[in-house]
Structure 1
Amino acid sequence: MSPMLDPRRLTPRPIPHLPEISKRFDGVVNCSDDTNIEGWKKLLRDDRPMKLAAGSISVVEIESKVLTTGFLEFDFVVEGTGDAPEIQILCAESYENDMDKGQPRSKDDRTNFRTGKLYGPTDTYFCNTKLSRNHYEPFWWRTFRYLRISVSCPPTSSLIFNSITYRSTHYPLPITTSVSSTDLVDKLHSTSVNTLLNCMHETHEDCPYYEQSQFAMDTRSQLLFSYTISHSDLLARKTIHEFYASRRDDGLLETHFPNPGRGMNIPQFSLYWIFMLQDHMIHFHDLALVKRYIGTADGILDHFAGRLNEKGLVGKFEVEGTWAFVDWVGEWFTPVKGFSSMGVPKAYYEKGAATVNSLVYALALKSAAEMCTALGRNDTTTEYLERAESIIQAVNEHCYDVKNGIYLDGPGATGQYSQHVQIFAVLADAVNGEAARTLMRRTIRERETLGLAKASFAMSFYLFRAAVKAGIYEEVWEELLSPWKKMLDQNLTTWAESESMVRSDCHGWSATPMYEIMREIVGVKSGWNETKIIPRVDLVNEMRGSFVVAGGDTVDVSWGESKQVKLKASKDMEVELVLRATSIHIKLLQGEEQCFSWT
């Protein structure tokens, strides 16, 4: 009988192997015995042996200057033949406020070792007294900025540390963008890059410390961030294919994938995969890739079409196995519905529809229409645009509060408002022109007065995009940037997950500043067939850097007190410079700097 299944097929690895780079810890933060501090420092710096006496209990806290991912390596010798010494190793992202008496989790200054404490999972290693030399190294990499090492030596055995080091590891993204600007801009960019790289390994991850899962919504943003510093799309192509491989019989994709089994599904996340596919087309124009996957986009859109209610809005999804999550918003929790109501607008349950689902669906229809146009599927383009317009009409008819001039979280959901709905109303063209400008100003500046639920760090990326589209970006730049400035003040070296939920200190979806610096401040907007540079010279008074453009080439852009924008390209290329609303078409010659003045 023929086999029912083909044998497992091996295919070439689509991404490079992850490097492992030997590193040393940067210093000692705390020590249970002050007389041992110098000994620990010499051990970390020079591999000078550090002996812990039999019968002693020692605790030391050490640091890496920035949060990192890597393989820990401890090398030590056991002296004695009695009971084995025990080593406990706790990896932590930061110092936190005391939770020992049941206080809610909270963080302020992440370096506050004086009153803060380290919390996290602990590895326990029991030394082998039959071996004079022991080596500890976990199978999987750890995420850490701080380590607490607790060593308990029994009365009959001592322990000598010969080295405590680690090998840092993350995806080897070839970076060709560099930034040198004000101290603030430099910190925003370097912290964003560190965040992104720590969330890239064999896959993209939401965060390296906790789930280490590749979520579709998170990853869409992370890919866009990576395109600002590198022209390599190897991991992007792998990511797109992995979500394609997760497609379900209902047309949706798995919310996070690869995963060990079918989990709770967030329908809206499948729409972000459509955005992901369109982003790749814009940056790389690989129409063969788009053609391969466009059918999956059709299936996702058909699923949402099947959820339209009598008002023409996206209604409720299937209850079983579905989480109608939108964003981590503190107000969005319905206790009687349990965990699966977290991050879900209350109007979804109370009114049978959440406006934001319809708007994101309409935006995805427009994205798919652009891809269909590129593929010559003009009839489908027309269909998708008509479907999008129908959704938008339904939103404007049933979900707009005429009296207050703002969109509701659901049809008839009086008093329930959020930044999210206003953001996607602008992005989906439910509102435009002066009305969009007014709406976005109110969304940002009158949020508390109007009672709008606040967009998280993840959704702030789309808040920035809506500000751009409404033409108020420079007006609200300082206000939108304030959460990231606060994180810098709290001494983070990567961007945190959320303001409303204090947990992860490294979340890829929060690396928005690197996108803003490249695409909006320097203003490099490079698609497959054109490169525009639209610098916002009034927002940042000095800038110098080299920025990746389509094809993997670079353009050097700088300006400062001379009130000149200077451009230099790595090869001959044509660019359009828009300087204070004046458009200039330029032929840049390889290596030759050209200057353009403003007044």
Structure 2
Amino acid sequence: MRAFITGDPYTANDAGRGWIQRGVWPCKWISCKEAHQPPFVTTYRRRFTMDKDATVRAHVSADERYELFLDGRRIGRGPERSDPANWRYETYDIPISRGDHVLVARVWSLGRKAPFAQMTVYPGFIFSTEGEYIEKLGTGVAEWEAKKLEGYEFVDPSPAWGSGWNLIVDGEKFPWGFERGEGEGWAKAKDEDPGANGFIRNEYPNLHLMKPAILPPMVDRDIFAGSVRFVSDKPGVLVDLEDNITSELDSWNLIRGKGTIDVGAGVTRRVIVDLEEYYCCYPEIVISGGKGASVAVNWAESLYKSREGYGVKENRNELDGKDFWAVGDVFKPDGGRNRTFGPFWWQAGRYVELVVQTAAEPLTIESFTLRETRYPLEMESSFQSSDRRLEEAAPIMLRALQMCSHETYMDCPYYEQLQYAGDTRLECLATYAISRDDRLARQALSIYDSSRHTSGVIESRYPCHVTQVIPAFALWWIGMVHDYALWRDDLHFTKGLMPGVRAVIDFYLSSANKDGLIEAPNGWNFVDWVPGWPWGMSIDADLGVSGVVNWQFVYALSLARKLEESIGRASIGGQWAETANELASRLHGKFWNEKRGLFADDLGHTSFSEHVQCLALLSGVLDDGELKKCRDRVVKGLLDDPNLHRTTISYSHYLFETYRLLGRIDKMIDRMDLWFSLEGLG
């Protein structure tokens, strides 16, 4: 039903129009008059009659997100995450039979309570059709109705953050049957701005610049996995296996698609399901009866031995004596039959907890379904190794990549759910190695480019309605452009990103001090979560002159040189090479420690790290010229000095790349104990 287009669907309409009218769609955004300040949930309907069977093409979007129903059946959801300058819409070819029908959309606009990654212009919905169906079905043309949906309360998602507030759904207030267009309170929708061709629209107010979705539909399938490991009649957080009602374990295996569960009046049941794998899912629970009850559906990656800081998990297979510290949603039945409850957005983790507390009326859980969602990324390549540890770790790594791949890449599916450039570079590289599908990577490259500030720097995580700049991540984005060019040989796409590459370089050059060294670019100068580095910043990275910051710039210049040469701009590449060599020479004068044979992290030579040595070696400036004499000593120090600040998980990529460069894969294997231990830790 989804169709994919690459250009604007109404370009032909622009023939003969003046420049100010070009790019105006025939259909408009609509909104709900009674919905004012977010957060709120609205619904829109269009009742209509078809005089023949037909396939209707519709371009659909919403602010912030929508679900689309035809005659009560969900046929789509979106829009694909992006930003106001690239507001995405999905195109559907909808087969509709002769007769009476109703189209319905549910739209939620959460404002400050939305996920950080969710951007907004103003709340609304658009269903823009083509040809003869514009007048029959198009929003702002046909008579669409709207109303605000009651029964939703939004609650803080702690211990998660940034992923959007969770739900409490009150079944007694909820307008059951809205997806079929039923119920009272419908009123004429309010017209807003016409849809706008985001490629060419000119002279416009604050509106959605619309562009077609570029990603395939996310995975959308039921999973029947795992087993019930704990059933108790006591609510709470702590799991004590002494409380486990083992006689009920099998009957609660609804997660495997088996049968129904009856829960009597005045009863509490706490059920923990181990999915035995990490999943991102939309949970859906169907309940009959149970007026006055509450049913919580909570998710956790692991149970916690301690909740100090970000929590101590230890072995993830273990339950006893640990806390189920989780995020989730609460559903309150109204006593009706076959009431379907679920959240707007998916949840993530290995463990699912159901907490059922009934009042004076019993309830029946008719079904409990988990629908997996993620980007449809699968391993097209193959991996074999004589080292059993690598073969055992590879599936875990693949699953981690899949769980962090959705409408954007994510640093983590459980917490922020944000596309950070430092993480995304590594996720893209892994994607290139296993799949020919590079659409998610192209999305990331382009949307970072769209986030650019006037200074030339890009945002560290994007799309995101909370602005954050990590200057180093702009350099990693240059690395992303380099990697794409290397793996995909797509000259046209690469050329389009090169002005942004040059802008990042100019941003860094504008931070040079009188000595020609880069001095703490404005922002959070995060490097790596090294113990002892405050907020992940190496010494002097925050306000002074840092060896790590400067050497990363040299490394990025070396990649930019290769990029320029690959697109036929060798003269600009030569400029970046000259800049890199000049800066490296200054760094040698200020940061080289002859006694230790290493580059220091700071001008006072009080700190030394693997990070600096790796960046210096990877940049290639030690391979010849005046700095060649340092190379062997840097290599020896990196390999043998036990007192260097060590790279942590994500930065280990650059350490491993350096080991590869040096032909020392044995050292890489020695540093992979963390990955090799994952299987045993659950």
Identify the TM-score tier after normalising by the shorter chain. 0.7 to 0.9
**Partner of 2:160 in structure 1?**
none
Q: Which residue of 1 aligns with 2:350?
A: 145
The alignment status of 1:243 with 2:420, answered yes or no, reads no
Mapped to 1, the partners of 2:208 and 2:416 lie a distance apart of 28
Question: Per-residue deviation at 1:8?
Answer: 4.0
Question: What residue in structure 2 maps to residue 177 of structure 1?
Answer: 381
**Helix, strand or coil for the counterpart of 1:458?**
coil
Residue 647 of structure 2 corresponds to residue 439 of structure 1: no
Cα drift, residue 164 of structure 1? 1.8
CA spacing shift, 1:441–1:110, aligned 2, 3 Å: farther
Give the Å deviation of 1:58: 0.8
String of CA shifts for 1:159-208, please: whole Å, max 9, x gaps.
21222220111111253112355542222111111000111111111111
SS of alignment partner, residue 426 of structure 1: helix
Per-residue deviation at 1:438? Answer: 5.3
Higher helix share: 1
Q: Residue type matched to 2:422 in 1?
A: M
Residues 389-434 of structure 1: per-residue CA shift (max 9 Å, x gap): 011111111111111122211222x321222111112112354589
Asked if the contact 2:255–2:370 (Cα under 8 Å) also holds between the matched residues in 1, the reply is: no
Give runs of aligned pairs for residues 383-462 of structure 1, distance below 5 A: 383-412=575-604, 414-432=605-623, 436=631, 439-440=634-635, 442-447=637-642, 450=643, 452-462=644-654
**Quick check: 1:228 aligned with 2:433?**
yes
The answer to whether the 8 A contact 2:283-2:346 is kept is: yes
From 271, 296, 300, the equivalent of 1:92 is 300
Matched, 1:29 2:225: no
CA distance, structure 2, for counterparts of residue 94 and residue 304 of structure 1: 41
Moved more, 292-301 or 112-121: 112-121
Change (3 A) 1:288 1:458: same
Return the alpha-carbon distance in structure 2 between the equivalents of residues 186 and 53 of structure 1: 49
The number of residue pairs the alignment matches comes to: 465
Identity in percent? 24
Structure 1: segments with no counterpart, 5+ residues: 334-341, 492-599
Tell me the equivalent position of 1:332. 533
The equivalences for 1:64-463 within 5 A come to 64-79=275-290, 83-99=291-307, 105-129=311-335, 131-154=336-359, 156-181=360-385, 183-261=388-466, 263-318=467-522, 322-333=523-534, 342-349=535-542, 352-412=544-604, 414-432=605-623, 436=631, 439-440=634-635, 442-447=637-642, 450=643, 452-463=644-655
With the length of structure 1 as denominator, give the TM-score of the two structures: 0.74
CA contact 1:97–1:117 (8 Å) conserved in 2: yes
1:174 and 1:232 in contact (8 A); partners too: no
**Deviation sequence 1:254-277 (CA, Å, 0-9, x none):** 11111114x121111111111111
Q: Which has the higher contact order (CA 8 A, sep 6+)?
A: 1
Alignment-mate amino acid for residue 471 of structure 2: P
Amino acid at match of 1:5: Y
Q: 1:477 to 1:104 in 2, by over 3 A?
A: closer
Mapped contact 1:426–1:470 kept (Cα < 8 A):
no
Q: Does 1:39 align with 2:251?
A: yes
CA distance in 2, matches of 1:254, 1:442: 35
Q: Is the deviation greater in 388-397 or in 426-435?
A: 426-435
Q: TM-score, normalised by structure 2?
A: 0.65
- Following superposition, the deviation at residue 134 of structure 1 comes to 1.9
1:561 corresponds in structure 2 to none
Listed as ranges, the matches of 1:520-599 within 5 Å are none
- CA pair 78-436 structure 1, distance change in 2 beyond 3 A: farther
Task: After superposition, give the CA deviation of every residue in 1:111-135 in whole Å (9 maximum; x if it has no partner).
Answer: 1112322212231111122x12222
**Preserved contact between residue 436 and residue 470 of structure 1 (Cα < 8 Å):** no
- d(CA) in 1 for partners of 2:540 and 2:531? 15
CA drift of 1:446 comes to 3.4
Which residue of the partner structure matches residue 57 of structure 1?
Answer: 268
Q: Distance in 1 between matches of 2:635 and 2:434?
A: 29
Q: What is the rounded CA distance, in whole Å, between the counterparts of 1:331 and 1:382 in structure 2? A: 39
CA contact (8 A) 2:524 2:542 kept: no
How far off its partner does 1:47 sit? 2.2
* Mapping for residues 501-512 of structure 1, pairs under 5 Å: none
CA shift digits 1:328-354 (9 cap, x unpaired): 122111xxxxxxxx111123357x211
The 8 Å contact of residues 65 and 145 in structure 1, kept in 2 or not, is answered as yes
Q: Secondary structure of 2:230's match? A: strand
Which protein has the larger Cα radius of gyration, Structure 1 or Structure 2? 2
Query: Aligned partners of 1:480, 1:153: CA distance in 2, in Å?
Result: 52
Does structure 2 retain, via aligned residues, the 8 Å contact 1:25–1:62?
no
User: How far 1:369 sits from its partner (Å)?
Assistant: 1.0
SS at match of 2:434: coil
Q: Which residue of 446, 471, 480 corresponds with 2:671?
A: 480
SS in 1 for 2:474: helix
Compute the RMSD of aligned alpha carbons.
Answer: 2.1
The CA distance in 1 between the partners of 2:639 and 2:313, in whole Å, is 25
Higher strand fraction (1 or 2): 2
1:253-311 superposed Cα distances (whole Å, 9 cap, x missing partner): 111111114x1211111111111111111111111112111111111101111111233
